[in-house]
């Protein structure tokens, strides 16, 4: 049977066996077989006659151990699909290819999402709507030993996103977020919005003894703007899954990766991330177009 040798091998297994049996100085053995001193020393001391793989033993020698660690941490925090993870890492590793990223994940044993995270209930696909159908939600986070509220609005069709930080998730802040800012941010008329049943958006979640026939100020605002306000079903948070997913993406790309000295520093970084996400990030769900790239045809 033929021997499988390394492409840069300078000895055969027969010669290596003879080198192991040689007695005398390493320099003499190297000269006898016309090989380097290090090669003679290696085959004298090695137990096997087989070649070992070249390289440093890691998945990609172009990356440092620190870069490997950062990629693994982002992977474990987000568990995004390979293509989405590669797009997220492009700003940090411009020369990183999708195949190289896959090799890194395979080497560290995290190329596949854990089974406990793969088990998801069956969900029907969202019905297609005209631009703009907004999903709105509020998510909390801690910074400077204080609890803050992040109001998030995302268009179902284009994934174009706007968010804003408030010190509290009050009804008035919800109105300010929607009327004064969200309407101005989106470059087209908002025909429908979907929110949960929180008191900031509706009275429907009130206890029976607190029920009222009054129209919620948020509903008044929507009616004034000619926008239909829809509510998610009780105990069905996945019906507002678009914005829930966006909340996770925002936190994974900011709060879970970086340390901020204060809320002002975080606000500036959040604005930079949103600009990148809306205008540059290519999303697999949009056919590798950016959210703004999906809006352009509607503006023409």
Q: Report which of residues 152 and 127 the model is more confident about.
A: 152
pLDDT at 26 exceeding the cut of 50: yes
Are 197 and 88 in a shared domain? no
Q: Specify the pLDDT at position 2.
A: 47
Q: Specify the pLDDT at position 119.
A: 61
Q: Report which of residues 224 and 123 the model is more confident about.
A: 224
Domain with 198 in it: what CATH number? 3.30.420.10
The structure's pTM equals: 0.59
280-284 long-range CB contacts below 8 Å, 24 or more apart?
281/87, 281/88, 282/87, 283/84, 283/87, 283/159, 284/81, 284/83, 284/84, 284/87
Are 198 and 228 in a shared domain? yes
pLDDT at 57 exceeding the cut of 70: no
Q: Report which of residues 246 and 58 the model is more confident about.
A: 246
- How far apart, in Å, are the Cα atoms of 164 and each of 6, 138, 148, 150, 237? 59, 10, 11, 6, 21
Q: Report which of residues 119 and 35 the model is more confident about.
A: 35
Q: Specify the pLDDT at position 300.
A: 43
> Has residue 122 been placed in a domain?
no
Are 38 and 72 in a shared domain? no
Are 89 and 228 in a shared domain? no
What 3-state class would DSSP assign to 114?
coil
> Has residue 59 been placed in a domain?
no
């Amino acid at each position: 049977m033929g021997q499988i040798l390394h492409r840069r091998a300078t000895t055969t297994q027969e010669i290596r066996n003879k080198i192991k049996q040689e007695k005398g100085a390493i320099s003499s053995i190297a000269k006898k077989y016309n090989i380097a001193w290090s090669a003679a020393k290696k085959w004298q001391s090695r137990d096997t006659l087989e070649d070992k793989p070249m390289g440093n033993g890691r998945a990609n020698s172009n990356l440092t151990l620190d870069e490997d660690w950062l990629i693994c941490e982002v992977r474990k925090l987000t568990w995004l699909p390979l293509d989405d993870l590669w797009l997220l890492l492009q700003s940090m590793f411009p020369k990183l290819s999708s195949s190289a990223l896959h090799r890194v994940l395979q080497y560290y044993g995290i190329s596949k999402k854990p089974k406990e995270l793969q088990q998801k209930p069956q969900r029907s696909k969202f019905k297609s709507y005209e631009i703009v159908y907004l999903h709105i939600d509020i998510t909390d986070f801690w910074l400077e030993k204080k609890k803050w509220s992040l109001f998030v609005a995302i268009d179902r069709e284009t994934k174009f996103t706007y968010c804003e930080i408030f010190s509290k998730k009050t009804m008035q802040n919800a109105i300010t977020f929607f009327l004064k800012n969200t309407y101005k941010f989106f470059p087209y008329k908002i025909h429908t919005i979907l929110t949960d049943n929180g008191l900031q958006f509706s009275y429907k979640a009130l206890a029976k003894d607190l029920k009222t026939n009054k129209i919620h100020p948020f509903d008044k605002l929507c009616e004034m703007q000619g926008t239909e306000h829809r509510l998610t079903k009780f105990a069905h948070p996945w019906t507002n899954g678009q914005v829930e997913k966006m909340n996770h993406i925002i936190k994974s790309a900011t709060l879970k990766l970086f340390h901020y000295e204060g809320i002002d520093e975080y606000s500036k970084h959040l604005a930079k991330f949103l600009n990148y996400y809306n205008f540059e990030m290519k999303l697999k769900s949009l056919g590798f177009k950016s959210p703004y790239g999906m809006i352009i045809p509607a503006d023409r």
